[in-house]
Amino acid sequence: SYMSGGVGFTQYATAAYTDDILDDFCYYGYDYIKGKYGVAKAKCNMDVVNDIGTEVTLYGIEQYEKYPTTLEDHFGGSQRATVLAAASGVTTSLATANGNAGLSAWYLSMYLHKEAWGRLGFFGYDLQDK
């Protein structure tokens, strides 16, 4: 089945139209890793990826639920998923100094987003093959 989102064009365009929400999520993640691991000092393993990716994604989900206007601003599920995933990936990469760890956190965030809200895609495109 098809699942919208990913590391392609959506990521390319996201930073331009997310109204500093992506920045907020990244700054939260930066503060989290700086206090817990130190910048570029965390071990590059799945425990660290799971910890940071989950923490940053859940923070973002909580912010979306706390401030409903952010849901309106990021009106598609793929936009929200990308912002959450980008923040998780950036933060994990900063903590581990490893881009592949960041990519793992990106995909972990996508799964967490889908589990939290029951779907990932934009206007139901993730359901088109069912």
pLDDT digits (tens, 9 = 90+) for 25-57: 999 999 999 999 999 999 999 999 999 999 999
Q: Is 66 within 8 Å of 24 (Cβ atoms)?
A: no
Whether pLDDT at 10 is above 70:
no
Whether pLDDT at 86 is above 80:
yes
pTM over 0.85: no
For residues 55 and 63, give the distance between their C-alpha atoms in angstroms, rounded to a whole number. 12
Tell me which architecture the domain covering 13-122 has in CATH.
Up-down Bundle (1.20)
